Amino acid sequence: MRFVIIGAPGAGKGTQAVLLAEKLNLPHISTGDIFRLNIKNGTKLGKKASEYIEKGLLVPDDITVDILSKRLEDPDCKNGFILDGFPRTIDQAEYLDNQLKGMGISLDFALYIDVSDENIIKRMSGRRVCESCGKVYHVIYSPTKVEGVCDDCESRLIQREDDSQEIVMSRLRTFHDLTEKLLDYYRMTGRLIVVKGREVIEMTSKEVLKALEVYNG
């Protein structure tokens, strides 16, 4: 299975992608995670990407498309993959379709997790991530056992810098201006699956799995 997950920032793309990757035994590829790892390690790519990420803007295609296309050629992508956060524009979607065509494969579908702006803003203020392993929590909807400490690796939880209210508004604008257009792109080619994103992660997961079953017959 090869598919992409689309959603506004904080819609739960990453959370659902991690769960699906485990369930379907597929690699989870998040361009945002790749950028964050590079920023943490102080690489040249990380420095360049952070100029855009910290303003809530998209990292230019020459950088993003390059890292994605290399990642798709890794051996673990041979039997399928889940893309989270790529594509974010029509250009990126066309690029992806062309690259896959060149590899003799194609994208099966795009899964859109639909959450209203109002709920996105509510959710983002409570999102926390582990500074070490990157696991995502929410202070109300998926809290840690010990406040502020990761359940898995016991490292400190932090708020992503780009989750501050001002940057979230900018990321939402970017989503509506550019990424939302992808819905028509995939709808017109009969590859769009829409699921309502719920507050409770398990409820969204259940609906996602049901929608995938229906889609795959």
User: What amino acid positions are annotated as catalytic residues?
Assistant: 13, 88, 127, 160, 171
Under 8 Å CB-to-CB from 186, ≥6 apart: which residues? 6, 93, 109, 110, 112, 192
Tokens representing residue 149 in the block: 């400490």
Shortest CB 65 distance to ligand AMP, Å = 8
* Closer residue to ligand AMP (CB): 155 or 170: 170
Shortest Å, Cβ 23 to ligand AMP? 21
| Calpha distance 167→173 (Å, rounded) | 10
Give the CA dihedral 157, 159, 160, 161, nearest 10 degrees: -140
Binding site for ligand AMP (CB under 6 A): 9, 31-32, 35, 52-53, 57-59, 64, 85-86, 88, 92, 162, 171
Q: How far is the CB of 96 from ligand AMP (least distance, A)?
A: 10
For ligand AMP, which is the closer residue by CB, 91 or 154? 91
32 versus 197: smaller Cβ distance to ligand AMP: 32
101 alpha-carbon distance from chain centroid? 23
Residue 203 to residue 78: CA distance in whole angstroms: 30
